[in-house]
Amino acid sequence: MESATAVPRIITLTSDYGSDSLYATALRGAIISRDPSIRIVDISHTIRPFDTNQAAFALRASAPHFPKGTVHLIAMNTNQTGDYVHRVMELSGQYYVGLDDGIFSLIADRTPEAIFDITVTSESDTLTFPERHIFVQVACHLVQGGVPAVIGRAASGWVESEWQRPLIGMDYVQGVVLHVDTYGNLITNIDQRTFKEVGKERPFRIPLRSSRMDVSRIHRHYGAVSDGERVALFNHMGLLEIAINHGANEAGGGASRLFGLGVGSIVRIEFDAAPPLTQTP
């Protein structure tokens, strides 16, 4: 029986495999075969193919809620090239295992504790599935309390990648949809601080499919409007979210379907023009 103070053994999986993928099943089976006590948590397997920004968003949204010692296995763009290699990042007491194509710099909101190049040998001569034959070895070693130096060497740096930041003008902020959840809610890359700094409490509108659908107010929660009404709010991550209260895409009532927007779509906040500065005679 585990003691109450034992560090939980958790490995999370993030991929663009698609739902009900046999590749994800293979990873789970390989982990369990090594150590049946390890808990496996699927963060998402429906990341858009090769979309590093969306995968980073999913991990940034999820990882802070896991305990220290958690290992996040990233099964995205996993085949090494001359520029991109397999690495481990240690950040806030957690580990991230994957191909460093820039995703580590997108995940980290601070300087990581360490970055290691993975040096373990693949368990197979087949090179097309390194997440199974290399990453599983590394993740299990780390989650069992092993140190990164055993499976890698300190890296001299990492691949820098620019997080999708909103465009800012004097009277507007223009962002993109990073994620659409199961209800059809649109989560953008426009954060609350930018909204306040640019808006300076001026009236605004968020143009949607037609002028009668435009949003001109920020609410604190979904229930601030009637069922079926559009609502804009800043979610627990501080990001602008556009939703339909009690709406769902499957029923044709989600914001994504109603407004014709999806991941990568542009969302723009337009503020009333600031009054001209008056000159003192």
Tell whether the model's pLDDT for residue 105 goes beyond 70.
Answer: yes
Q: Express each pLDDT in 17-47 by its tens digit.
A: 998 899 999 999 999 999 999 999 999 999 9
Q: Express each pLDDT in 206-228 by its tens digit.
A: 999 888 889 999 999 999 999 99
Backbone torsions φ then ψ of 255, nearest 5 degrees = -60, -35
CA geometry: angle 159, 165, 167, nearest 5 deg: 140
Q: How far is CA 51 from CA 95, 152, 182, 225, in A?
A: 21, 26, 18, 34
Range of lowest pLDDT (137-151, 165-179, 266-280): 266-280
Q: At what angle do helices 136-143 and 22-34 cross, to 10 degrees?
A: 40
Q: Which domains does the chain have, with CATH numbers?
A: 10-154 (3.40.50.10790), 167-271 (2.40.30.90)
Amino acid at 203: P
Count of beta carbons in the 10 Å neighbourhood of residue 149: 11
Judge whether 159 and 82 are in contact, CB under 8 Å.
no
118 DSSP assignment? E
Whole-angstrom distance, CA of residue 165 vs CA of residue 191: 9
Whole-angstrom distance, CA of residue 256 vs CA of residue 253: 8
Whole-angstrom distance, CA of residue 167 vs CA of residue 27: 39
Backbone torsions φ then ψ of 6, nearest 5 degrees = -65, 140
Count, in order, helices (H) and strands (E) of the chain: 8, 14
Task: Work out whether strand 167-168 and strand 204-205 pair parallel, antiparallel, or are unpaired.
Answer: unpaired
Tell me the average pLDDT across 62-76. Answer: 96
Report the run of H or E that residue 33 belongs to, with start and end.
Answer: helix 22-34
- Per-residue burial over 37-64, b if 16 or more Cβ lie within 10 Å, else e, is ebebeebbbebeeebbbbbbbbbbbbbe
pTM: 0.82
pLDDT at 276: 65
135 DSSP assignment? I
DSSP bridge partners of 152: 118
